[in-house]
Structure 1
């Protein structure tokens, strides 16, 4: 165990002195290679292997598509539709934020992007209606995290690449948990708003304004129908769907809503390049890290560590969930998935946990990481928009964490419903 302990020690020490995560993983991997007397060429070979899978192209394409749709004016149309649906009720703008995030999640595939796109519109409006700024920002941050669950989800794609689980099955499995979680968030927003007297015009719901908003936003609503419908009907693969999403976002943004300018296009491409460059660097360095995990037989050691409780899969999942949530407070979601899936995936599949369920479970715990300091990306995005400190918004988000914790407990104790849609469309998975 000298090698694994040395790797962990080097990795933790590197993070403690401020070394960025990809470099920390790379340094720890080099330490492991030296101890195991393995040629350094493994690093290059691992990076090549990590970049080789063709489905990897879906990540930059979905990121670019989300940016084009945000910059092109789709988010404003979705907010208008949501406002006509739930805006008149107590906490109306808070409910609008959650519903709009659910809509935009089906376009962006990213939690922080969803928070930024919808929060930039609804947070100032909530503040004008005397919502506490920290609560307004917390609503956008917590609802924005749905962007990593409701398909197309970049985190689910990463999990699929690491584990070879079917991307379409994971996408289908994320739909119901994402929608249920959205309704749970709406319940919390409603009760907090009712208690504090936030919002609510008292106007009766009317079909005509909703119909007008839907008609105006029909191009935005059609995006998830075309993208996800094409995947599930077999018209195109997830990779092709990502390319279709980019083309659709460009077409609508340039010729229908005409919100895309040269400056916005440049920003969208620049943002995508920065994000995918970071992702590739993390993927390359942590792929070798994952291979060393296997070489050192760490999964077998983890299995031995859990040996006394293997007859209680719920307890194993609960402990992994607690570990993921704690780690997610300090580690970004993508490296968290890549590094620890290699450790825990063999364990959970050996005790009968469905790989698709574990994928949803993993991403759900990552969403809590989006909402907990000091690394909570959604909190930083929402805090910047709402102009409050990270400490203030961390307090405001506390009641909105309850639905996420409840969903994790549901996944631990009763998860068969998660695979209902994938099994319905593609048939039950053979063990």
Structure 2
């Protein structure tokens, strides 16, 4: 089938080390020349795709996250989580997952979550006698929550690419994110209780808990303010990102007093760099998807699926297996932008809810973050600790299995994803 020949050729090109945006643009342009002899109105197509109001949310959420990281707000967040969990088996591991969960709702980035929380949590866990594989695995897996719990950059890109409600995707990710965090916590507690070789402290008093909550009030307020305002209809997704960026500045400049003009400049610079990279990949993916449409590849895919009679669940399972394999080699952004436009007509034909599929896609991409050989969170942990990659992978492996179990649960019971969006929207 022509779609598989095109995708395999593209993957081979990307594996040669060509930047993703260049590979998509050059390959798409070459296909256009081969099929119609000219580029046609491709510049108008690309401009239309990247000239979207919703995309402004990506640099704004990135700026908000960078400001909160540079303001060292995460230190209080981690201390508060540990105050509430220190009496449990694996209390530090549980605190790490809780801190990752809240920070994910601030940063929207898996790598930023793993790096920021890991720099604080891993030395602490090792000092308290935790098995190093548990310490590495908890941070690597907890970091993946950054792209599932809103705000999420990949969800925004998927929503823009498929014209799906960003608010619906954000709401759809909340319960699965909480379920996944709960499963991670349960695993950490059981594993720690069975090993029993780490230090534990007595349960915190009510006074200690209140003091801890007071210290981390502003870091907890951030996701409540941003997401609550959006779900209450006060903000759109883009306005919520702008409001969150302003609140981050107010918290770090006037309350924590840890951010100066230099930090603001570097945060803006980093946000612009990340956004420019994403938008260049989006432009390349637009060229690629445009030529596939010209070649009637999506229509052929729909016809093949109808002939195969896979049904909704069969189609979703086939796509999840394919994306799981792609995730071992490609970045999540590339996977979204390569696959989503191609399969969208098939999803519409089969009546698949795009919010449900989008959340399943993001859970799958989370697995990719801790799956070798190109698991970004694995390399992030290695950068923090300089530990052998084999130990990091061994520590993360159980969490891949846990994510797979949760994804199967979400496929079997779509209402876990769709219940909250149906109630709030």
TM-score for the superposition, normalised by structure 1:
0.94
Q: Which residue is equivalent to 1:279?
A: 278
Listed as ranges, the gaps of 5+ residues in structure 1 are 427-431
Greater displacement, 126-135 / 277-286: 126-135
Contact 1:109/1:153 (<8 A) preserved: yes
Contact 2:226/2:240 (<8 A) preserved: yes
Q: Which residue is equivalent to 1:192?
A: 191
Q: Which residue is equivalent to 2:325?
A: 326
Q: Which residue is equivalent to 1:349?
A: 348
Tell me the CA shift for residue 45 of structure 1. Answer: 2.3
Aligned equivalents of 2:109, 2:37: Cα separation in 1: 37
Aligned equivalents of 1:145, 1:195: Cα separation in 2: 25
Contact 2:65/2:106 (<8 A) preserved: yes
Aligned equivalents of 1:406, 1:149: Cα separation in 2: 16
Aligned equivalents of 2:401, 2:186: Cα separation in 1: 11
Greater displacement, 21-30 / 191-200: 191-200
Match of 2:76, SS?
helix
CA-to-aligned-CA distance 1:24-60 (integer Å, 9 cap, x gap):
1112101210111153254422321221110100001
What is the Cα-based RMSD across aligned positions, in Å? 1.8
Q: Which residue is equivalent to 1:181?
A: 180
Q: Which residue is equivalent to 1:298?
A: 297
Tell me the CA shift for residue 408 of structure 1. Answer: 1.1
Q: Which residue is equivalent to 1:130?
A: 129
Contact 1:91/1:190 (<8 A) preserved: yes
Q: Which residue is equivalent to 2:314?
A: 315
Q: Which residue is equivalent to 2:401?
A: 402
Q: Which residue is equivalent to 2:267?
A: 268
The number of aligned residues is: 425
Tell me the CA shift for residue 199 of structure 1. Answer: 3.1
Contact 1:309/1:315 (<8 A) preserved: no
Q: Which residue is equivalent to 2:43?
A: 44
Cα distance 1:198–1:5, how it changes in 2: closer, same or farther (>3 A)?
same
Greater displacement, 333-342 / 43-52: 43-52
Contact 2:129/2:199 (<8 A) preserved: no
Greater displacement, 276-285 / 378-387: 378-387
Aligned equivalents of 1:137, 1:192: Cα separation in 2: 14
Match of 1:204, SS?
coil
Aligned equivalents of 1:145, 1:38: Cα separation in 2: 44
Contact 1:7/1:31 (<8 A) preserved: no
Contact 2:302/2:349 (<8 A) preserved: no
Q: Which residue is equivalent to 1:414?
A: 413
Structure 1 runs of 4+ aligned residues shifted over 6 Å read none
Cα distance 1:311–1:282, how it changes in 2: closer, same or farther (>3 A)?
closer
Listed as ranges, the gaps of 5+ residues in structure 2 are none
Contact 1:72/1:257 (<8 A) preserved: yes
Aligned equivalents of 1:43, 1:133: Cα separation in 2: 51
Aligned equivalents of 1:6, 1:348: Cα separation in 2: 21
Aligned equivalents of 1:47, 1:87: Cα separation in 2: 52
Aligned equivalents of 1:132, 1:20: Cα separation in 2: 38
| 1:360 is aligned to 2:350 | no
Aligned equivalents of 1:235, 1:123: Cα separation in 2: 39
Map residues 186-265 of structure 1 onto 2, 5 A cutoff. Answer: 186-265=185-264
CA-to-aligned-CA distance 1:59-81 (integer Å, 9 cap, x gap):
01001101111111221111111
Tell me the CA shift for residue 202 of structure 1. Answer: 4.4
Contact 2:144/2:366 (<8 A) preserved: yes
Q: Which residue is equivalent to 1:429?
A: none
TM-score for the superposition, normalised by structure 2:
0.95
